[in-house]
Structures are given as C-alpha cells and as structure tokens.
C-alpha cells in the first residue's frame, strides 16, 4: 500500500561568478554577480527538485539532469522543476507544500520572495501559500559569509493524488 504522505529534503550550493545572471526561484535578481553552473544555476530550484525526487527515493537531480549532458546546458531550471513535478505526478503524488531557506549575505532577497513563491507555484500548478521561501545570512561565517556563493535547503511534503 503506497503511503499517503512522503517527505523530502534537498540541498544545493552554487558559487558566485561574474558575467552570469543571478536567478533564484525562477526570478532574475539584479546583482553584480551571478551563479556558476551547467544550467542557469538556480540553486533554490535545484534544492526543491532534490527534495521532490528524494521524497520518493528517486535519486538526486544530478542523476536525472546530469551536468555532463548538453541537454541541460544553460537550461532554465523552471524546466527541471516541471520535469521533477512530472516524475512525482507519474508516481501518483503531488506537492502538498514546500519550505525552503536560502543562505547568503547579499543581495537582500526580501523584495523578491513573493515573486519566487508565485513562480514556483505557477510551475507546480499549486497555490502560492503552499510555497515558503526564506532567506538568512550566515552571520558572515563560512563560504556564504565570505560571499563566495549561495546555499539552499528545501523540505517538501508530497501527498497522494486524489484517485
Ligand atoms: C542542475 C544541474 C543540471 O545539469 O547542473 P548545475 O546547473 O547544478 O551545474 C545538475 O543536475 C546538478 O546536479 P548536482 O547533483 O547538483 O551536481 P553534482 O553535485 O556535481 O553531482 C553530480 C552527480 O554526482 C554524484 N555525486 C556527487 C558527489 C559525490 N561525492 N559523489 C557522487 O556520486 C551525485 O549523485 C550527482 O548525481
């Protein structure tokens, strides 16, 4: 008997880089640096994808979207989020809610949080109030504190699709 609920956790890190866009939660954020990566390096969406896949023990994003594949070069990570959603839907589950936290010193994200929630909700086709996006500094400690990059954490609760 399949469980009615499955919980997943995701984590990702990307390093800051010049001449790259900063894309977080599907939103382009004005800043002097972007994030390095094979895709658009949307670290928040990657952590959320990882949590969705992990909830059903489907492996991690690298297994489904390898950074060695030309298919995913510079890809918009909203496409990876949609693909991850298709995978869990195909297994009979939908996203009930997401909680996530970005760890970075700068830029300030509070003006963009609701935009990110709306973008993610729109891709997943669920209500924005089921998507929580938070941002915190690491009090200038560690690689995030040295402004070398951004870390993202996400937890996702999946529920069975109404049969
Ligand atoms: C989103 C994508 C799109 O191509 O690239 P980026 O834009 O982040 O570069 C990838 O899915 C991003 O996958 P991600 O999983 O974050 O990349 P990595 O950390 O480099 O891990 C790549 C693969 O190596 C495996 N891996 C990683 C570390 C480790 N010590 N042993 C491993 O076996 C992981 O299971 C993963 O499947």
Contact call for residues 152 and 49 (beta carbons, < 8 A): no
pTM (predicted TM-score): 0.97
Residues in the ligand 1 pocket, defined by CB under 6 Å: 12, 37-39, 41, 46, 60-63, 65-67, 72
* Residue 3 banded pLDDT, cuts 50, 70, 90: confident
- pLDDT reported for residue 163: 59
Give all domains of the chain, ordered by start, each with its CATH number.
Answer: 5-160 (3.30.1330.50)
**Binding site residue list for a divalent metal cation:** 12, 14, 46
Give the CA angle between residues 115, 117, 123 to the nearest 5°: 105
Give the number of the atom of ligand 1 that is nearest the alpha carbon of residue 73. Answer: 4
ipTM: 0.95
Q: How far is the CA of 163 from the centre of ligand 1 (A)?
A: 34
pLDDT digits 0-9 by tens, 89-124: 999 999 999 999 999 999 999 999 999 999 999 999
pLDDT score for 161? 87
């Amino acid at each position: 008997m399949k469980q009615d609920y499955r919980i997943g956790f995701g984590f990702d890190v990307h390093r800051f880089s010049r001449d790259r866009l900063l894309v977080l939660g599907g939103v382009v954020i004005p800043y002097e640096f972007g994030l390095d990566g094979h895709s658009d390096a949307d670290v928040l969406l990657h952590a959320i994808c990882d949590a969705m896949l992990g909830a059903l023990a489907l492996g991690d994003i690298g297994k489904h979207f390898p950074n060695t594949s030309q298919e995913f070069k510079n890809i918009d990570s909203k496409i990876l989020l949609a693909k991850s959603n298709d995978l869990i839907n195909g297994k009979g589950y939908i996203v009930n809610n997401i909680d996530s936290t970005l760890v970075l010193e700068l830029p300030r994200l509070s003006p963009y949080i609701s935009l990110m929630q709306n973008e993610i909700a729109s891709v997943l086709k669920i209500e924005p109030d089921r998507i929580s996006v938070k941002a915190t500094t690491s009090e200038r400690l560690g690689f995030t504190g040295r402004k070398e990059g951004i870390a993202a954490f996400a937890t996702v609760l999946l529920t069975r699709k109404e049969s």
